[in-house]
Amino acid sequence: MSDTVVVGLDVGGTSTRATALGLDGQRLGTGRAGGGNPTSHGAERAAAELLAALRQALVDVDPARVRAGTIGLAGAGRLLADPAGRDAFDRAWRDAGLRCPYAVHGDALVAYASGTASPDGTVVIAGTGAIAAGVRELRLDRVADGHGWLLGDAGSGFWLGREAVRRLLADLDRGHAPGRLATAVLAELLGCADVAARPRDTVDALVQAVTRRSPVELARLAPLVVAAAVDGEPVAAGLIDEAAAHLVESTARIRPVGDASPIVLGGGLLTGDTPLAAAVRVRVARQWPDAPLHSAGDGAAAAAWLAARDLPEVTDPAALHALLVPATA
Amino acid sequence: MSDTVVVGLDVGGTSTRATALGLDGQRLGTGRAGGGNPTSHGAERAAAELLAALRQALVDVDPARVRAGTIGLAGAGRLLADPAGRDAFDRAWRDAGLRCPYAVHGDALVAYASGTASPDGTVVIAGTGAIAAGVRELRLDRVADGHGWLLGDAGSGFWLGREAVRRLLADLDRGHAPGRLATAVLAELLGCADVAARPRDTVDALVQAVTRRSPVELARLAPLVVAAAVDGEPVAAGLIDEAAAHLVESTARIRPVGDASPIVLGGGLLTGDTPLAAAVRVRVARQWPDAPLHSAGDGAAAAAWLAARDLPEVTDPAALHALLVPATA
C-alpha cells in the first residue's frame, strides 16, 4: 500500500474543516476551526483558522508523507488574485509542515465533488445565498445566480426569510390574523407574537427590526420556514415550492434540456433530507428525468480527492472517489 | 370677497413647494426650495427649505392675512413625534411672519387631496417607493406596503430598476445577447454596453456597480424601463405590467371589492400619462369598475385646500376644491 497522504480543506463562513486521508481511504486525521472565508474574515484570520484545522488533522501524520492538498473556499478567485492573501495561505501551509503544493478551488466545485466523481455535471447550492454552476472536467464552467441578496440569491435562505416577512406584512396590511408561520416570524423578530391595536404599529416595528440589522440576516428566519413546512403549514410549504422553482429556473439557465449528467444538491438548505431538497428533486426529475441526483457530502474529503486525482499513482479517479469520499444519497 | 389667504406646502425629497391662495382661487404667490424631507435631510435643514419656499410665496402677501396653513410631508408622524423637529418647523413658520396655526399631514393624504375633494377614497403612490392608503374623512386610514425597498415597495421605481437589472443578469447567465432594455441598463451601469468575452465578468462588474451604491439608487434605472416600455420593448412592457399588478394587489389589501369611492394615482411613475398609470388604470377598472380614477395634481394647492376647509367662512369644501386645486385627468 502506498504511504502517500492527501489533505483536503473545506473553508466555510462558519467553520473550517480539514482531513488527512491515505489513498486506501484511511482517515488519518481531521481538524476543525472557526470560519475562514477570506472575503468576510480577511486573509490573515482565514489563514490562521486554516493552520489550526491543518495542525489538528496532522497530529498523527508525518507531514512529509503529504503529497498533495486542496483548499476549497468561497471567493477562491479573489484569494488567488490577491498576493497578500495568497502569501498568508502559503505561510499557513508551510507552518503546518507541508512541503507539497496545494490547489485552491471554489466551494461550489468542492460541494460538487463531494456528491459525485463524474467530471461533468451541475451543482445547485442553497444556503444563505444561492447559485447553480455547470462543471466540466472538474472545473466550474458557467454559473447562474450567486448575484447576492440585493439582485439575486433567488430561492436561498435570505430569500425564504425575506418572503416570510413579506407574507407577514401582507397579512397585517389586510388586517388578517397572522398564520402559523407569520406568528413564528413575528415572535422571532419582535420577541412577542401579539399584533398591536393598530396593526400598522406592528408593521412599522417589524420594518424597523429588520432594517436595523444587516439585510443578509434575514436568512436567519429560513429555519422557521423549513420547520413550518415540515409541519405542513401551507404558507411555508408554498414558499418552499416557490424557492425550489427559483433554484430550478436558475439551473435551467446553464443546463441544457435533456442533459443526463449528475446534479449535486449542496448548501445547508439542500444537503440531506430537507423540504427544499425534496421540492427541488421533484422539479429536477420533471425537467431532467435522466439525471442522477446526489446530495453534497464531506467537502474536506472531496477536496482531498481533488488533490489526489493528479498523483501519478492514481489511475482510476472514480474508484478512488468511492474510497475517499463517504457516499451520500 | 374674503380677504383671507391660505398657505399650502408640499415637502418632498427633492423639492419643497409653497403656494398662497385667496379663497376665490387667486394664486397670490408660489415658492420653491430644495428637498425638505425631515427624515432624510434632518429637521433643521427641512425647516430652512420650508422657510425659503414660504418667503417666496409670501413676497406679495401680508402674512397677517394668512388664516390657515397645511404642510404635507413624508414621515409626518415622525416629525410630530419629535419635539426638536416640531420646534424647528414652528420657528420657520414664525420667521416667515405667520401667526396662524398650521397642520401637518402625510404626503399620501396631500397627494390624495390633489386629485379629488371626496372625503373617502384611496390613494396609490409609486415613485421611488410604493404605498396604497385608504382615506376616510380626509384622514389616512389603512395603509398597504410602503414597507421600504428591502421588504416591500412592490411596483415602485426601486422595484422596476432592480427587476431590470435582474433580467439583464439572467440574460448574461443564459449566454443570451442582452435585449434593448438590458442593453440600456448595461450602458447606464457600466458606461459601455459591451459584454465581456466571459459574460460572468460582466455579471460581476454589474453586481459590484450596484452594490457600491445605496440600494435605493436602483430607482434611478426606472426611467429606462418607462422609456423602453413607451417604445414597445417587450421586457420593459412586461415589467410595467408586473409592477401594475403589484400596485393593484397592494391596493386590494385595503380596499373592499365593489368599493365605488375615487382612486387617486400619485407619485412620479403614476402622475399623468405614464405607461405604469395606463397599466394600473386597466387593472383598476377591472377590479373596481365603478371607481372614478384621478391623477394627483398640485400638492401645495391641495395642502392649502386642506387648511382652508376648516375655516368658518367655508361652507362648501367641494366647491372650494374646484376653485383652489387645478383639475387633473
Please check whether residues A74 and A187 belong to one and the same domain: no
B247/B140 same-domain check: yes
Cβ-Cβ contacts under 8 Å, A150 against chain B: 162, 210-211, 215
Spell out the residues 6+ positions from residue B244 whose beta carbon is closer than 8 angstroms to its own.
Answer: B155, B276, B279, B280, B282, B283
Give the Cβ contact number of residue B161 at 10 Å: 27
What SS3 state is found at B8?
Answer: strand
CA atoms within 13 A on the CB side of B151: 29
pLDDT band at B193 (very low <50, low <70, confident <90, very high): very high
CA distance B73 to A168: 28
Closest alpha carbon to A256 in A125, A144, A115: A144
Q: Alpha helix locations (H) across B25-138?
A: 38-41, 43-57, 76-81, 83-95, 107-113
Report the CATH number at residue B217: 3.30.420.40
Give A151's contacts in chain B (Cβ within 8 Å).
162, 165-166, 169, 206-207, 210
Radius of gyration, CA atoms only, chain B = 22
- Express each pLDDT in B270-323 by its tens digit: 998 899 999 999 999 999 999 999 999 999 999 999 999 999 999 999 999 999
Size of interface A-B (CB pairs under 8 A): 69
Judgement on whether residues A196 and A277 belong to the same structural domain of the protein: yes
The minimum CA-CA distance between A318 and chain B, rounded to whole Å, is: 30
Say if the Cβ atoms of A174 and B215 lie within 8 Å.
no
Domain that holds residue B226: 117-296
Give the mean pLDDT of B177-181: 94
- Which residues 118-147 of B have a C-beta within 8 angstroms of A? 142-145, 147
Q: What is the pLDDT of residues B86-136, one digit of tens each?
A: 999 999 999 999 999 999 999 999 999 999 999 999 999 999 999 999 999
Same domain for B126 and B269? yes
Quick check: B256 contacting A, CB < 8 Å?
no
Same domain, residue pair B140 and B282:
yes
Which residues in chain B touch residue A207, judged by CB atoms under 8 angstroms apart?
147-148, 151
| Residue B39 shares a structural domain with residue B155 | no
ipTM of the complex: 0.91
- Say if residue B174 is in the same domain as residue B247: yes
Report B:274-313 residues touching A (Cβ under 8 A): none
Is A50 within 8 Å of A92 (Cβ atoms)? yes
Q: Which regions in chain A score pLDDT beneath 50?
A: 1
Total domains in the fold of chain A: 2
Interchain CB contact of A250 with B (< 8 Å)? yes
Whether B82 and B202 share a structural domain: no
Residue of B84 and A309 predicted with greater confidence: A309
Question: What are the grid coordinates assigned to A11, written together?
Answer: 473553508
Q: Which of A122, A139, A150, A160 to mutate to test the interface with B (most CBs of B within 10 A)?
A: A150
In angstroms, the separation between the Cα of residue A8 and the nearest Cα of chain B is 28
CB contact under 8 A, B250 and A173: yes
Is B127 in the same domain as B175?
yes
Contact A121, A261 (CB under 8 A): yes
Q: Is B72 a domain residue?
A: yes
Please give the pLDDT value at position B35.
82
Confirm whether A22 is domain-assigned. yes
The answer to whether B50 and B104 have CB atoms below 8 angstroms apart is no
Give yes or no: residues A150 and A184 share one domain.
yes
Do A83 and A231 lie in one domain? The reply is: no
Condensed to tens digits (0 to 9), the pLDDT of residues A120-139 reads: 999 999 999 999 999 999 99
Q: Is residue B285 part of a domain?
A: yes
Of B187, A132, A141, whose CA–CA distance to B195 is shortest?
Answer: B187
Residue B215 lies in a domain: yes
Inter-chain residue contact A169 with B147, CB threshold 8 Å: yes
Same domain? A171 vs A292: yes
**What does the pLDDT read at residue A117?**
96
Tell me which chain B residues have a C-beta less than 8 angstroms from the C-beta of A175: 142
Q: What is the pLDDT of residues A201-232, one digit of tens each?
A: 999 999 999 999 999 999 999 999 999 999 99
Could you read off the pLDDT of B138-152 as tens digits, one per residue?
A: 999 999 999 999 999
**Residues of chain A positioned with their CB less than 8 A from the CB of B170:** 253
Predicted local distance difference test score (pLDDT) of residue A69: 97
Q: Does some domain include residue B268?
A: yes
Asked if residue A329 belongs to a domain, the reply is: no
